[in-house]
Structure 1
Amino acid sequence: MPRRTFFSYHYVPDVWRAWNVRNSWVVRDTEEISRGFFDSSVFEASKKESDDALKKFLRNGLENTSVTCILAGTDTWNRRWVRYEIARSIIKGNGLLTVYIHGVQNAAKQTSVKGADPLAQMGLYKTERGIFLAEWKGGKWIPYSDYTLAIPEKDLRFAAPKSTSVVQLSKHYMSYDFTSQNGRKDIGGWIETAAGLVGR
């Protein structure tokens, strides 16, 4: 059964790179195509949309997916809506992985600078009220503001944090480099690994 995967990325600078990565399964050998993934990506919505409408749009994009693949360029790590997609993926129980795409050429045949891992910029911490999301912002960890409810420990697909110290999400998920690690051939396997790590 092909894996339904949601692709999260910084639209303006990386859409060309993301398009190439998302469609890389097309060039696989015939026997590998059945293990490819369906693209359930959504783009950043119009700036005319309200925050609530955009959040609903992104939640709808995540429906019926089992893995979220963050295609990380230079500034993906600090994009608000990428962080929201990550947060909703945690809540939903999707597998997660980061794939660095800075080495993929854009339409002008240019590569870019490697950015931070978006999964290292978000984390979880525990209080007496439950488990909450945190984000790295302004040089420090702060409570995540776009989802402020506690996450039930039973809904997590990995060991829950034990204290108020933030545990980065990157501690629980894998990251890969599309260019240097032969992503065109292997991204399907990376996605399957991400799904397996959360039992999806």
Structure 2
Amino acid sequence: MARKTFFSFHYAADVWRAWNVRNSWVAKPDHVDVGFFDSSVFEAARRVNEDSLKTFLRKGLENTSVTCLLTGTDTWQRRWVRYEIARSIIKGNGLLTVYIDGVKNRDGYTSKRGHDPLAQMGLYRANGSIYLAELKSGNWVRYSDYGLAIPESDLWFAAPKTNNVVQLSNHCMAYDYAQQKGHANIGGWIETAAGLAGR
């Protein structure tokens, strides 16, 4: 059975690197990506309105079991990457971070390592319910693009017990594509994320 993976990344800065990583993934047997869009499709959806883009991203995540964050310099602060992370948590997808700063762009340059996007988002408990939080200007705040409670039973990891935010990175693995031979190993990394989430 093919593993369907959603690839999340910063389009403007990292599409070339992300494309190369994605191609190494789909070249393997039984690997299918259903969440890789070129920047023109993404920008067209964004131009309509925010609700249209949110619908577009939710549809991209349909029928996927893993969300792979291809992380460059500024991926961690991109609003729509955070939305894809939030919807992946709600959906129950496995999550992993793959740093791609060491992958050369079309001009042959690598980039600076950015923060782990999964360390910029977390969960906390308030009034008996679980909510998403995001790190903004050094402070944890309730996640602004999805304010509803998340059923504890929908989480594949232990829910937080207090109002202290638990970063999503505490439950997910992170890898370096260039240094850890991602072209050969990304399939195993994605399978590990799926296994952790019971997917």
TM-score by length of 1: 0.94
Q: Closer, same or farther in 2 for the Cα pair 1:91/1:34, shift >3 Å? A: same
Cα displacement (A) at 1:129: 4.7
Mapping 1:93-112, distance limit 5 Å: 93-112=92-111
1:17 is matched with 17
CA RMSD of aligned residues (A): 1.2
| SS of aligned partner of 1:45 | helix
Q: Closer, same or farther in 2 for the Cα pair 1:105/1:156, shift >3 Å? A: same
Cα displacement (A) at 1:158: 0.4
Task: Report the Cα distance in structure 2 between the residues aligned to 1:176 and 1:189, rounded to whole angstroms.
Answer: 11
Mapping 1:2-151, distance limit 5 Å: 2-25=2-25, 33-42=28-37, 43=39, 44-46=42-44, 47-151=46-150
Number of residue pairs matched by the alignment: 195
Query: Which residue identity does 1:41 align to in structure 2?
Result: F
Q: Deviations over 1:54-94 (max 9, x none)?
A: 00000000001000000000000000000000000000000
1:193 is matched with 192
Runs of 4+ in structure 1 deviating by more than 4 angstroms, as ranges, are none
Native 8 Å contact 1:4 1:64 kept in 2: yes
Q: Deviations over 1:79-127 (max 9, x none)?
A: 0000000000000000000000000000000000000000000000001
Task: Report the Cα distance in structure 2 between the residues aligned to 1:130 and 1:26, rounded to whole angstroms.
Answer: 39
| SS of aligned partner of 2:133 | strand
Between 35-44 and 122-131, report the one with greater CA deviation: 35-44
Task: Report the Cα distance in structure 2 between the residues aligned to 1:193 and 1:123, rounded to whole angstroms.
Answer: 21
Native 8 Å contact 1:9 1:70 kept in 2: yes
Task: Report the Cα distance in structure 2 between the residues aligned to 1:81 and 1:122, rounded to whole angstroms.
Answer: 13
Native 8 Å contact 1:68 1:97 kept in 2: yes
Task: Report the Cα distance in structure 2 between the residues aligned to 1:111 and 1:142, rounded to whole angstroms.
Answer: 33
Cα displacement (A) at 1:49: 2.1
Mapping 1:148-187, distance limit 5 Å: 148-187=147-186
Q: Closer, same or farther in 2 for the Cα pair 1:161/1:75, shift >3 Å? A: same
Cα displacement (A) at 1:26: 5.3
Task: Report the Cα distance in structure 2 between the residues aligned to 1:187 and 1:95, rounded to whole angstroms.
Answer: 14
| SS of aligned partner of 1:69 | strand
| SS of aligned partner of 1:48 | helix
Query: Which residue identity does 2:112 align to in structure 1?
Result: V
1:30 is matched with none
Query: Which residue identity does 1:45 align to in structure 2?
Result: E
Cα displacement (A) at 1:37: 3.6
Query: Which residue identity does 2:88 align to in structure 1?
Result: S
Native 8 Å contact 1:35 1:188 kept in 2: no
Native 8 Å contact 1:2 1:38 kept in 2: no
| Paired-residue identity, % | 65
